[in-house]
Chain A
Amino acid sequence: MLEVRNLSVEIHGKPILDGLDLTVRAGEVAAIMGPNGSGKSTLSYVIAGKPDYDVVSGEVLLDGENILELSPDERAAKGLFLAFQYPVEIPGVVTMTFLKATMNAQRRARGLKEMTTPDFIRAERAAADRLNIDQEMLRRPLNVGFSGGEKKRMEILQMALLQPRLAILDETDSGLDIDALRIVADGVNALRDKERAFLVITHYQRLLDHIKPDTVHVMSKGRIVKTGGPELALELELNGYRDYAADAA
C-alpha cells in the first residue's frame, strides 16, 4: 500500500532523510522505532505533505501513485491520516464543527454525498463512547485547554471517524499515562483490518505491548537500518539504541 523509495529530504539545507526505503502492505501494522533525531517525525510529515521540507530525491507511492506532488488535503482524500505528536489548537472552532467539516470535505473529494447532521451525530457518539470521550469535550474549541491525553484521544477519534486507508501515528504514546495508553491502543486495534495499514512511530516499546506490530523497523540517521518482527522491539527495549546510534555515527 505504501512504498517509500530512496527518499532523501532536507530542511533549510540540512539533510534529515537519507535514501530511505520502506514498504507497508495492506493489513499490516508496521512500527518505526529509533532514537531522537533519527528523522521519524520528518518521515511522517513528508508523507503527509507538510511544507518546508525539500524532497531531494525519491518517491512516496500510495497504492502505486506518487503522492509527493499532491497537496495535504488531496492526500487525505486518498485515505492518508496522520495522528500528530503535538495536535494543534484552533481557538473558537468547536470540535464538533471541525469533525463534521473534515468528514464532509473528504466525502466531497471522493464524490460522496455529505453526511446529514443526524448521521454525523450517530457516528460521532458511537466513536466517542468507545474512546471514553465526553460529549461536552466536543463542544469545546478544538484542542484548546485539552490535556495531553485528551488531545491524543481526540486524534484517535478523528481517525475512527475518517476511516483512513493508511494511518500514521506519530509518537501517539508520548505523554500518556497507562490508562490513556490502553484506551488509545484499543481505539487503534478496533480499526485494524486487512484493508487498512498502520505506521506506528514510537520511541518506546510499551505502546507495542498494546498495539502488536507485524513488522518493526529501526531508523537511524535518516534511514531504515534494520527490519524484523515484534521481537526486534523487545530487543531494543533491552539494549537501547546504542548500537544503532554508534553504527550510524
Chain B
Amino acid sequence: MAAVQETVDRVRSIDVGEYKYGFVSDIESDKAPKGLSEDIVRFISAKKGEPDWLLQWRLDAYRRWLTMDEPKWARVEHPPIDYQDLYYFSAPKSTPGPKSLDEVDPELLRTYAKLGIPLIEQEILAGVERPRVAVDAVFDSVSVATTFKAELAKAGVIFCSFSEAVHNHPELVRKYLGTVVPATDNFYATLNSAVFSDGSFVYVPPGVRCPMELSTYFRINEKNTGQFERTLIIADKGAYVSYLEGCTAPKRDENQLHAAVVELVALEDAEIKYSTVQNWYPGDSEGKGGIYNFVTKRGDCRGARSKISWTQVETGSAITWKYPSCILRGDKSRGEFYSIAISNGRQQVDSGTKMIHLGKDTTSRIISKGIAAGHSQNTYRGQVSAHRLATGARNFTNCDSLLIGQNCGAHTVPYIEAKNNSAVFEHEATTSKISEDQLFYCLQRGLSGEEATALIVNGFVRDVLQQLPMEFAVEAQKLIAISLEGSVG
C-alpha cells in the first residue's frame, strides 16, 4: 500500500473525540479538529496573530465559499471530496509518519535513488519521523540562507514567508492581497483565501533587478508550508525578479488536497519570471493516494510595458487543475506561458493558461507541450481574449501533444475571443505519436526503449526547457526521463 494512502487512512482513523479541549480558546494548541467552520477560520487567524482586517477577509471568503460549488468543467474525475473530513490547521501531532524508509512506497524510493538524493534527505522528503536535530544537521543551509538574505536586504528586496510579511509589511500585503485573484474567484481559490496556511512573499522595489534567482528551496526547509499555500510577488516599477518554485524530488505529503494561490503584480516596466517544477506524488500504479493539485495562479501586468512569464514543468500529482494566467492590463504589456505537462499511469492533467488582453498593443505567447503515456489523460485548456479597447492585441499559441502508447488521451480545448477587429490571434496545434521508425532507429544505435523515449520527448519539449533557468533545466530533463519510465512496452 502506498505510504501516502496509508497515512491518510491513519489520519482518518483518529477519532476527533480524542480532542477534549475547546479549540477556540486554546490558542496554545497546535491542532484544530477536522472540518471547516467560522471558528476554524478564526482559530487559524488567531494562531498566526493576524490583524483584524485579515481575519475579516478570511471570514468573507469563507462565507462566500459556502455558497460556491466545485468547478465541473475540467476533464478530470475523482471521488467527491468531503471538506468536513479534512484538517485545516497543522495535522495533529499524534499523526505518525512512516517509522523508517521500509514503510515507504518502494517506487518512490527508487525514484529518489535515480535523482541521486542522499538517504537522509530521502527520509525527510518521505516524511519519516526523525529527531529535529538530524534534520537541521542535513539542511545546514542556515548560513547560506543568511548570506542570501543579507544580499537581498542590501538590494532592498523583501523575500520572506507570507506570515512574516503580514507582520512586517502589512501595508504591502493589504495593498496587493486578493487584487489579482479575488477572494471570490473560484471554489478552490476562495477556500484558500479562508484557510491559507503560509507561503512566500516577494517585493522588489522600483528599478531593482533582484540580484539572484529566488527559490523556495531555502525557505521550505525551514518550515513546511502545507496544503493551502499562498504566494504574493510584487515587482514595482522597472523591477525584475525570477522566482523558482518547487523541487524535482517527488515529495510525499499526507494532505491529498492542495489548493494554492499565487498572485503576481508587475507595475510599469517591471518583469516577473515564474518557473515551476511540480512533482508531487502521483499515486501508485493504480492511481491510489496521489495529490490533487488544484491551483490558481495569475499574474497582473498592471503597468505599461510590464511582462510576466510563466514556465512550468508538471510531472507529478494524481490530478492537476492549473491555469497560470496573465491579465494584460498595461498598454504594451506582455504575457508568456511555457508549459510541459507529462502524465503517465492514471494521472489526469487539465492545465493551460488564460491571456486576457485589456491594454492596447498587448502581446502574448503560449507554448504548450503535453505528453501523455500509460492510461493518463492530458488536456490543454486555454483562453485568449481581447477586450474591446485592446486594439493591436496579438497572440501566438502553439499546442503540441505527444502520445505514447494506446491507452492515453490528449485533448486541446482553446477558447478564443476577440472583441475588436484589430486583434491578431494565431493558433497552431499538433498531436503526434512517437513513430515506430524513430524508436527503431534509436534502438538500433543501442539506446533502450526508455532511453529512446526520453530522448525523443526531451527533443519535443526543447523549446520550453530552454526557458527554464539552467540548473532547473538539467534537473527537469532528468525528471522527464523518470516520469516516463514504464511507458514503453
CB distance B451 to A105 under 8 Å?
yes
**A77 touching B460 by the CB < 8 A rule?**
no
Q: Are A90 and B446 in contact (CB under 8 A)?
A: no
For the complex, what is the distance from the CA of A90 to the CA of B457, rounded to whole Å? 10
Pick the contact of B441: A52, A88, A92, A141 (CB < 8 A).
A88
A175 within 8 A of B: no
Chain-A contact segment, one of B177-185, B202-210, B432-440:
B432-440
Binary interface profile of B, 259-292, with partner A (CB < 8 Å = 1, else 0)?
Answer: 0000000000000000000000000000000000
- Cβ distance A95 to chain B, nearest Cβ, rounded Å: 11
* Contact status A48-B444, CB under 8 Å: yes
Q: Which residues of A contact B440 (CB under 8 A)?
A: 50-51, 72
A244 contacts the other chain (Cβ, under 8 Å)?
no
A100 to chain B, nearest CB (A): 11
Report Cα–Cα, A51/B489, bound state, in Å: 13
Asked if B458 contacts A92 (CB within 8 A), the reply is yes
Chain A residues lying within 8 Å of B95, measured Cβ to Cβ, are: none
Q: Are B443 and A76 in contact (CB under 8 A)?
A: yes
A141–B462 CA distance with the chains assembled, in angstroms: 11
A91 on interface, CB distance cutoff 8 Å: yes
- A102 in contact with B459 (CB, 8 Å): no
Q: Is the CB of B444 within 8 A of A91?
A: no
Contact of B459 with A158 in the complex, beta carbons under 8 Å: no
A82 interface hit (Cβ, 8 Å): yes
Given contacts A84-B441, A88-B438, A88-B441, contact A101 B458 (CB under 8 A): no
- Of the candidates A50, A52, A92, A97, the one having the most CB atoms from chain B within 10 angstroms of its own CB is A92
Contact of B445 among A51, A52, A162 (CB under 8 A): A162
Q: Is B66 located at the chain interface by the 8 A CB criterion?
A: no
**Complex partner residue of B455 from A51, A88, A93, CB under 8 angstroms:** A93
A92 to B369, CA, bound (A): 13
**Which A40-91 residues have C-beta < 8 A from chain B?**
48-52, 71-73, 75-77, 81-82, 84, 87-88, 90-91
Whether A105 pairs with B438 at a CB distance below 8 angstroms is no
**B448 in the interface (beta carbon within 8 A):** yes
In whole angstroms, how far apart are the Cα atoms of A109 and B462 in the complex? Answer: 27
Contact B451 A101 (CB under 8 A): yes
A106 to B460, alpha carbons, bound, how many Å?
24
Q: Tell me whether A98 is interfacial, beta carbon within 8 Å.
A: yes
- Cβ distance A21 to chain B, nearest Cβ, rounded Å: 24
In the assembled complex, the Cα of A36 lies from the Cα of B462 at a distance in Å of: 40
> Assuming A92-B462, A93-B456, A93-B459, is B451 touching A82 (CB within 8 A)?
no
Residues of B within 8 A of A52 (CB): 436
Known: A93-B459, A141-B459. Is A101-B437 also a contact (CB below 8 A)?
no
Instruction: Indicate if the CB atoms of B458 and A93 lie closer than 8 Å.
Output: yes
Interface membership of B461, Cβ < 8 A: yes
Per a CB cutoff under 8 Å, which of B437, B445, B456, B461 touches A102?
B445
Chain A positions within 8 Å of B442 at CB level: 90, 102
What's the nearest-Cβ distance from chain B to residue A61, in Å?
Answer: 19
Most interface-central of B442, B448, B458 (chain A CB within 10 A): B442
B-chain residues with CB within 8 Å of residue A106 when the two chains form the complex: 445-446
Shortest distance between the CB of A175 and any CB in chain B (Å): 18
Q: Which residues of B contact A82 (CB under 8 A)?
A: 444
Q: Shortest beta-carbon distance, B35 to chain A, in Å?
A: 49
- Judge whether A92 and B446 touch: CB under 8 Å: no
Instruction: Tell me whether A72 and B444 are in contact (CB under 8 A).
Output: yes
> In the complex, how many angstroms separate the beta carbon of B90 from the nearest chain A beta carbon?
45
Q: State how many angstroms separate the Cβ of B340 from the closest Cβ of chain A.
A: 12
Given the contacts A84-B441, A88-B438, A73 and B458 also touching, CB distance less than 8 Å:
no
Provide the residues of chain A in CB contact with B456, threshold 8 Å.
90, 93
Inside 8 A of B455's CB, which chain A residues have their CB? 90, 93, 97-98, 101
Taking a contact as CB atoms closer than 8 A, the residue among B435, B444, B449, B459 that contacts A92 in the complex is B459
Q: A98-B455, A105-B451, A141-B459 are in contact. Are A90 and B438 (CB under 8 A)?
A: yes
Query: Does chain A have a CB within 8 A of B447?
Result: yes
CB B68 to nearest CB in A, in angstroms, measures: 42
Q: Is the CB of A87 within 8 A of B441?
A: yes
Given A92-B462, A101-B455, residue A73 in contact with residue B438 (CB < 8 A): no
- Residue numbers in A under 8 Å from B462 (CB-CB): 92-93
CB within 8 Å for A92 and B443 given contacts A51-B436, A73-B448, A98-B455: no
CA distance A213 to B429 in the complex (A): 50
Write out the residue numbers on chain A whose beta carbons fall within 8 Å of the beta carbon of B435. Answer: 88
Contacts of A92 in B (CB 8 A): 458-463
Contact of B443 among A71, A93, A101, A141 (CB under 8 A): A71
| A98-134 at interface with B (beta carbon < 8 Å) | 98, 101-103, 105-106, 109
- Chain B nearest CB: distance from A235 CB in Å? 33
What residues of B have a CB within 8 angstroms of the CB of A103 in the complex?
Answer: 446
Q: A96 CB to closest chain B CB, in angstroms?
A: 12
CB within 8 Å for A73 and B460 given contacts A90-B438, A93-B455: no
Q: For B461, what are the chain A residues with a Cβ–Cβ distance below 8 Å?
A: 92
The distance from the CB of B473 to the nearest CB of chain A, in whole angstroms, is: 13
Q: Name which residue of chain B comes closest to A88, CB basis.
A: B441
Question: Are A105 and B448 within 8 A (Cβ)?
Answer: yes
Closest to A99 in B: B445
Nearest Cβ on chain A to B478's Cβ, whole angstroms: 13
B173 nearest CB across to chain A (Å): 43
Task: Report B-chain residues with C-beta under 8 Å of the C-beta of A77.
Answer: 446
Q: Given the complex of chains A and B, what is the CA–CA distance between A87 and B442 in angstroms? A: 11
What separation, in Å, do the CA atoms of A73 and B447 have in the docked complex? 6
Contacts of A84 in B (CB 8 A): 441, 444
Complex Cα gap A130–B443 (Å): 26
Residue of A nearest to B369 (CB): A92
| Shortest distance between the CB of B339 and any CB in chain A (Å) | 16
Give the residues in chain A near B445, CB-CB below 8 Å.
76, 98, 102, 105-106, 158, 162
In angstroms, Cα B435 to Cα A53, docked, is 17
CB distance from B418 to the nearest CB of A (A): 31
A-B contact pairs, 17 of them (CB 8 A): A52-B436, A71-B443, A73-B443, A73-B448, A73-B449, A75-B444, A87-B441, A91-B460, A92-B458, A92-B460, A92-B462, A93-B458, A103-B446, A105-B446, A105-B447, A105-B448, A162-B446
5 closest Cβ pairs, A-B complex: A92-B459, A93-B459, A72-B443, A76-B446, A102-B445
The residues of B with any CB-CB pair to A shorter than 8 Å are: 435-438, 440-449, 451, 455-456, 458-463
Given contacts A73-B444, A93-B459, A102-B446, 15 further A-B contacts (CB under 8 A): A48-B444, A49-B444, A51-B436, A72-B444, A73-B446, A73-B448, A76-B446, A84-B444, A87-B441, A88-B435, A90-B438, A90-B455, A92-B459, A103-B446, A105-B448
